[in-house]
Structure 1
Amino acid sequence: MIPIAMPVLAEQEADAARAAVLSGWVSQGPQVAAFEREFAAFVGAPFACAVSNCTTALQLALAALDVGPGDEVITASHSFIATANSIRNQGAVPIFVDVDPETYNIDPRRLADAITPRTRAIIAVHQMGMPCDLGALTALADRHGITLIEDAACAAGSEIQIKENWERIGKPHGHIACFSFHPRKVITTGEGGMLTTADADLDRKFRLLRQHGMSVPDTVRHGSSQVIFEEYLVSGYNFRMTDMQAAIGRKQLERLPDLVARRRAVAARYAELLGNFEGLRLPTEPKWAKSNWQSYCVRLPNRLDQRSVMQNLLDQGIATRRGIMCSHREPPYVKAAQRHDLRHSELAQDRSILLPIYAQMSEAEQLHVAECLKAELAKG
């Protein structure tokens, strides 16, 4: 079976996790602090705060902004449901706008019509690792005085050109960026997430809220020669990362540039193998973006049935996934009033499939995927 994705985990990660276990400190501790410093340095952010996953990162971002009942947050429906759930978990209302049909990212041209006096934030998703048009998004957010949060769950290692410079997603270019380290992502800690920001006050709030609102972190209390009684200053959460996860994450971060380079090579090879078939739309990378190619999404010709193509590929040992889901079609959101046309989001879900892509993918595996997909395209 050729899987849809495959993490790169080896002896280095196993040794790092073992060392963390044997250190005696297994919850949020020195490894987490080191991972935060190294991740911040990698992306070019002043601050990075590790958490349990990207969903909690998004919720912490909204909580630190005091987003709550009665507030609206604009985002894309065309995203994993965690994006919408993080908004609703704060009691706020997700306002869905459509995506650009070329990149499947939130369309900046549609945002202005969605802004109301209740709008508190925009969550822009770097879908499948492809950077959003941050230039347009930041300009619009600044013009309206709205906070821009980047859902960078898939985008570790992706880059965007700002003026003449290439900068990594997570710098951040909005106010906050949130990452995932789930096994489907380019680097993984099993589960885990990270928030980056240039705002010291927001970073302080993240750290307070992720640990029950505790005034003194465990590391400070346990390292003190004096008895310290902590206080619980606000109602917070348990959104902490463990030191075992962070130890693995540090090794994964060392691999990230090489992993991205390999995935970009695989994506380029797909473009060579599949670029000459009429009706098949390949993913578009804008000239100002460098994707980490967390996923490789192709749009099928209208004559082909998505499920049948996927089943036929599975029968030949090739795992695929349908196009990214639309949250407004799922039971928790289907009854919510939709203010905006979401046709491009729905077409992306219904007509697209994700092909296998991972750093270790061999030429033979890619050829098999391409030949089997070509056979499907030749039908009808």
Structure 2
Amino acid sequence: MIPIALPLLAEDEAEAARAAVLSGWVSQGPQVAAFEQEFATLVGAPHACAVSSCTSALHIALKALGIRAGDEVIVPSHSFIATANCVRYCDATPVFVDIEAETYNIDPARVAEAITPRTRAIIAVHQMGMPCDVTALATLADRHGIFLVEDAACAAGSMIRIDQNWEPVGRPRGAIACFSFHPRKVITTGEGGMLTTADPALDRKFRLLRQHGMSVPDTVRHGSRQVLFEDYLMVGFNYRMTDIQAAIGRKQLERLPELVARRRALAARYTELLGNIEGLVLPFEPDWARSNWQSYCVLLPDRIDQRGVMQRLLDQDIATRRGIMCSHREAPYANGAPRHDLRWSEHAQDHAILLPLYAQLTEKDQERIAAALRAGLEF
């Protein structure tokens, strides 16, 4: 079986987890603090705060920015449903806008059309690791006095060219960037997330919100030679990362450059193998973007049955996934007609498929996948 994804975890990660377990400190502690510092250094962000998932990161981000009932947050429908759900967690309204047909990323032109006096923030998703046009989005946010939050769940290791310099995704162009370490991502801690920001006041809020609003962290209280009593300064959450996860994450960070290089090579090979299939649209990488290729997404010809192709590949032990979901089609958001045209989002969900991509994928595997896809389209 060729799976859709496979995390690269080895003895280094196992030993790091073992050391954390044997240290006696397994909840949020020194490994988390070290992971935060190393991640911040890697992406060039002044501050990084580790949490339990990217969903919790997005929720904390919006809470820290003061998003509340009556506010609108512009989001792509073409994203995992967590992006929209986090807006609802704050009793605010997600306003869905369409994507660019080529990149599958939120369209700045559609964002501009969607801004109203109630708009407080934009959530820009770097979909499948492909950087979105944060320069245009940041300009829009600044012009209208609203916040830009980057949903960088898939984008650890991706790069953007800013003023002729290549910069990592995660050095926030807006207020906050949020990452995921789910096993489908390029690096993993099992579950886990990270927020990065240049604003120290926001970072302080993150740290309160992730731990029930507690004023004195466990590490400070347990390490103090004086008795300390904590206060609870706001209604917070239990969104902490464990030291076991962080220890694994630190080893994964060491692998990130080689993992991205390997994925870029695999993506290039897919492009060679699939480039001459009539009607098949391959992924587009703008010249100002360097994707980590968290996923390799191909668009099928309109006449081709998406489910049928996927089933034929699965019958040959090749796993795929359909195009990224559209949140506005799901039950929590399907009560009324979308305010904006979402045709490219729907087209991508209905006609795109994601092919297997992970570091351990071999050239023989890719040739087998390409041959099966070619035959599936000719069925």
Q: For this structure pair, what is the TM-score category when the shorter chain's length is used for normalisation? A: over 0.9
In structure 2, give the amino acid aligned to 1:247: A
Which secondary structure state, in structure 2, belongs to the residue aligned with residue 196 of structure 1? strand
State the alpha-carbon separation in 1 of the partners of residues 246 and 299 from structure 2.
37
Deviations 1:20-60 (A, max 9, x none): 00000000000000000000000000000000000000000
Deviation per CA, 1:322-355: give whole Å up to 9, x if none: 0000000000111144110000000000000000
Partner deviation per Cα, 1:113-167 (whole Å, 9 max, x = no partner)? 1111111100000000000011111111111111000000000000000011000
Partner of 1:3: 3
Q: 328-337 vs 361-370, which deviates more?
A: 328-337
Aligned-residue CA RMSD in angstroms? 0.6
Q: Structure 2: which amino acid aligns with 1:112?
A: A
Partner of 1:230: 230
Q: Which residue of 1 aligns with 2:92?
A: 92
Rounded to whole Å, the distance in 2 between the matches of 1:4 and 1:376 is: 17
Q: Tell me the amino acid that sits aligned with residue 102 of structure 1.
A: E
Aligned pairs for 1:1-380 within 5 A: 1-379=1-379
1:252-288: CA deviations, max 9, x gaps?
Answer: 0000000000000000000000011121000000000
Aligned partners of 2:137 and 2:68: how far apart in 1? 23
Deviations 1:159-178 (Å, cap 9, x if unpaired)?
A: 00001100000011221000
Matched letter for residue 47 of structure 2? F
Q: What is the deviation of 1:302?
A: 1.3
* Matched residue SS, 2:3: coil
CA–CA separation in structure 2 for the residues paired with 1:235 and 1:352: 42
SS of the residue corresponding to residue 149 of structure 1 reads strand
Amino acid at match of 1:338: P
> Residue 332 of structure 2: SS of its match in structure 1?
coil
**Structure 2 counterpart SS, 1:310:** helix
Partner Cα distance (1:65, 1:109) in 2: 24
After TM superposition, give the deviation of residue 225 of structure 1 in Å.
Answer: 0.3
Tell me the amino acid that sits aligned with residue 132 of structure 1.
Answer: C
Work out the CA distance in 1 between the residues paired with 2:180 and 2:44: 17
Secondary structure of residue in 1 paired with 2:41: helix
Instruction: Find the aligned partners of 1:337 and 1:251 in 2 and give their Cα distance.
Output: 46
SS in 2 for 1:367: helix
Task: State the alpha-carbon separation in 1 of the partners of residues 374 and 55 from structure 2.
Answer: 37
Unaligned residue ranges in structure 1 (runs of 5+): none
Superposition deviation, residue 376 in structure 1: 1.7
Q: Take 1:179 and 1:117, find their aligned partners in 2: how far apart are those partners? A: 29
Shift, 1:378, TM fit: 2.5
Q: How far apart are 1:377 and its partner, in Å?
A: 2.2
CA distance in 2 between counterparts of 1:232 and 1:303 reads: 59
Amino acid at match of 2:10: A
| Counterpart AA for 2:161 | Q
**What secondary structure, in the 3-state scheme, does the structure 1 residue paired with 2:122 have?**
strand
Supply the distance in 1 between the matched residues of 2:111 and 2:90 (Cα, whole angstroms). Answer: 22
Distance 1:9 1:278 in 2: 38
Which digits, 9 at most, give the CA deviation of each residue in 1:212-260, with x for residues without a partner?
Answer: 0001001000000000000001111110000000000000000000000
What secondary structure does 1:111 align onto? helix
- Deviation of the 1:303 alpha carbon: 1.6
SS at match of 2:48: strand
The whole-number CA distance in structure 2 between the counterparts of 1:306 and 1:56 is 33
* Matched letter for residue 21 of structure 2: V
Distance across 2 between alignment mates of 1:39 and 1:360: 24
Provide the aligned length of Structure 1 versus Structure 2. Answer: 379
Query: Normalising by structure 2, what TM-score?
Result: 0.99
Write the distance in 2 (CA, Å) between the matches of 1:143 and 1:241.
Answer: 36
Percent identity reads 75
User: Deviation digits for residues 301-320 of structure 1, max 9, x if unmatched?
Assistant: 11210000000000001000
Letter in 1 for 2:375: A
Partner Cα distance (1:134, 1:74) in 2: 14
Cα distance in 2, alignment partners of residues 188 and 315 from structure 1: 29
